[in-house]
Chains A and B, each alone.
Chain A
Amino acid sequence: MGTWKLEDLPQGRETVGCKWVFDIKHDHEGKISRYKARLVAQGYSQIPGMDYFETFAPVVRHDSLRAMLAIAAIQDLEIRQLDIKGAYLNGDLQEEIYMQQPEGFNDRSGRVCRLYKTLYGLKQSGREWNRKLNKRLTELGFSRNKVDHCVYVRERNGETAVITVWVDNLLVFTKTVEEGDELARNLKDEFEVNDIGEPKMIIRIEINRDRGS
């Protein structure tokens, strides 16, 4: 994946540490659905102005999200939820950062990991991921809403598609199922996507839909 390359640590450089975080995921009935392990960088030792610069990343405003849900009800739009797996690992690291080799995968050569992707835990990861996603959505013809940078709109052949972004959680609003399918495919081309379909839950808001006929 090109997340890092093993290199000798240049003179005068420090490494950041890393650790494994383990979690047990439960489904909505409380049954164990997944054992999850994630390697996180210990970004707290990063030096501002050297190891990172900007850290801000936008998320969709609640007002925008609710407005879109209301519009979906009024206009009977299709809604599709897509989660990007390991989203942050898609971000390209701009700065030169070295990390200790992770526990259990240390080749004892004394080399360190020169990072090329934004691992979870780095200060700039959220921002770089957002930048990457923004680039992809822009390529697909979407543009950012002026008053909410996590609402994307595309006007094509008179059909409007809207995507709201909450970090790695996307809601896709389209007039037709086909356009939603196409967008899901477009995103799967670049990212690993968990295609959830009709949303049941987003940022801990439960969604029930009654579309009648």
Chain B
Amino acid sequence: MPLDPNIILQKPQEDETLKTEDRLAEGYATIIGAIGYAAMLTRPDIQEAYQILSKFTANPGAVHWASAKRVLRYLNGTRDLGITYTATDRNGILITSVGYCDADFAGDVDNRKSVSGHTYLLGGGAVSWNSKKQTTTALSSTEAEYTAISHATHQAIWLRNLLEGLGYTQEEPTVLYSDNQSAIILTRDAQFHARSKHFDVQNHFVREKVESGVVDIIYVPTDNNIADVFTKALPKPKHQKFRENLGMLAA
């Protein structure tokens, strides 16, 4: 797997930092840059590894170097993987994309910020994906998931506009899967006021988009939420399963 799920990546300790200067921090940045390029083009399966490792570009410790090299070995071992798009139904002229989103609450151990991840699939393969540290500190997993839904909705709107512009009318709302029931309820009604009054107001634009039929947020159990792979390092079986769900097959 690109990242070992048992290793927690955080800022290097004081004494270790000194040693990294000898380790050529520049070389680390080059590797991360290369990983990022692959992640951006055809390798959503290492997007999360990139998101985490790129935070240490300015000051990599031994564990970050080891993790970055692990990603390279993973890539070397899976170099035949590509995203496969297939015609599931040649007669179906409907071009609609389906999305998944997820959050890892307080996933960044250094500052307790959460991570948002999402992906959109078309023709059985991922066409769009992202993994991003949230800018505001979420106080609950519900808030983190709500923010992730908000991020994913931005992308849904963009994708709908793109497809509309290509002549594929988007009559139905874009289906977006989330694994958090409370967050989904919050996109429909302003419930749980006491526990959600502090939410960043900009995220409430989701409610508007749900109401106007742009997105339809639907529950999916965590074990089937592909976007899990964009928020944290997963054990091998899950990683492989979600990788396949992203349409990544041996080319």
B29 at interface by CB-CB < 8 Å:
no
Bound CA–CA A129/B127 (angstroms): 28
Given contacts A74-B87, A146-B161, contact A67 B122 (CB under 8 A): yes
Q: Which residue of B lies closest to A71 (CB)?
A: B95
Contact yes or no, B166 A145, CB < 8 A: yes
Partner of B122, one of A71, A76, A151, A153: A71
Bound CA–CA A147/B163 (angstroms): 10
User: For B166, what are the chain A residues with a Cβ–Cβ distance below 8 Å?
Assistant: 68, 71, 145, 151, 153, 160, 162
List which B76-114 residues lie within 8 A (CB) of chain A: 82-83, 85-88, 90, 93, 95, 97
B158 at interface by CB-CB < 8 Å:
yes
Interface size on A, residues (CB 8 A): 28
| Min CB gap A73→B, angstroms | 4
List which B136-162 residues lie within 8 A (CB) of chain A: 158-159, 161-162
A206 at interface by CB-CB < 8 Å:
yes
Bound CA–CA A206/B81 (angstroms): 11
Contact yes or no, A153 B41, CB < 8 A: no
A140 at interface by CB-CB < 8 Å:
no
Contact yes or no, B159 A63, CB < 8 A: yes
| Min CB gap B168→A, angstroms | 8
Contact yes or no, A70 B41, CB < 8 A: no
Given contacts A75-B87, A203-B41, contact A70 B162 (CB under 8 A): no
| Min CB gap B160→A, angstroms | 9
Given contacts A62-B40, A74-B123, A76-B90, contact A151 B165 (CB under 8 A): yes
Bound CA–CA A148/B168 (angstroms): 15
Contact yes or no, B128 A63, CB < 8 A: yes
A-B contact count (CB 8 A): 82
Partner of B127, one of A67, A145, A148, A206: A67
Contact yes or no, A147 B83, CB < 8 A: no
Contact yes or no, B162 A73, CB < 8 A: no
Contact yes or no, A67 B87, CB < 8 A: no
B170 at interface by CB-CB < 8 Å:
no
| Min CB gap A205→B, angstroms | 5
B125 at interface by CB-CB < 8 Å:
yes
A157 at interface by CB-CB < 8 Å:
no
| Min CB gap B32→A, angstroms | 17
Q: Which residue of B lies closest to A173 (CB)?
A: B166
Given contacts A67-B163, A70-B122, contact A147 B158 (CB under 8 A): yes
Q: Which residue of B lies closest to A209 (CB)?
A: B85
Given contacts A75-B87, A76-B90, contact A67 B167 (CB under 8 A): no
Contact yes or no, B251 A153, CB < 8 A: no
Bound CA–CA A75/B37 (angstroms): 29
User: Chain B 49-89, CB within 8 Å of chain A: the 1/0 string?
Assistant: 00000000000000000000000000000000011011110
A69 at interface by CB-CB < 8 Å:
yes
A155 at interface by CB-CB < 8 Å:
yes
| Min CB gap A13→B, angstroms | 40
A66 at interface by CB-CB < 8 Å:
yes
Bound CA–CA A204/B37 (angstroms): 10
Contact yes or no, A147 B85, CB < 8 A: no
Bound CA–CA A145/B40 (angstroms): 22
| Min CB gap A163→B, angstroms | 11
User: Chain A 89-102, CB within 8 Å of chain B: the 1/0 string?
Assistant: 00000000000000
A138 at interface by CB-CB < 8 Å:
no
Bound CA–CA A52/B95 (angstroms): 43
Contact yes or no, A204 B41, CB < 8 A: yes
Contact yes or no, A208 B127, CB < 8 A: no
Bound CA–CA A208/B86 (angstroms): 12
A72-B85, A75-B95 given. 6 additional CB < 8 A pairs? A66-B127, A67-B97, A67-B163, A68-B166, A71-B122, A76-B87
Interface pairs (13), CB distance under 8 Å: A63-B162, A66-B83, A66-B127, A70-B122, A73-B85, A73-B87, A74-B87, A74-B88, A75-B95, A145-B162, A146-B165, A155-B167, A160-B166
The chain B residues found within 8 Å of chain A, CB to CB, are 37, 40-42, 82-83, 85-88, 90, 93, 95, 97, 122-123, 125-128, 158-159, 161-163, 165-168, 251
Q: Identify the 9 closest CB pairs spanning chains A and B, nearest first.
A: A70-B123, A73-B85, A70-B85, A145-B165, A70-B122, A66-B127, A147-B161, A63-B128, A67-B127
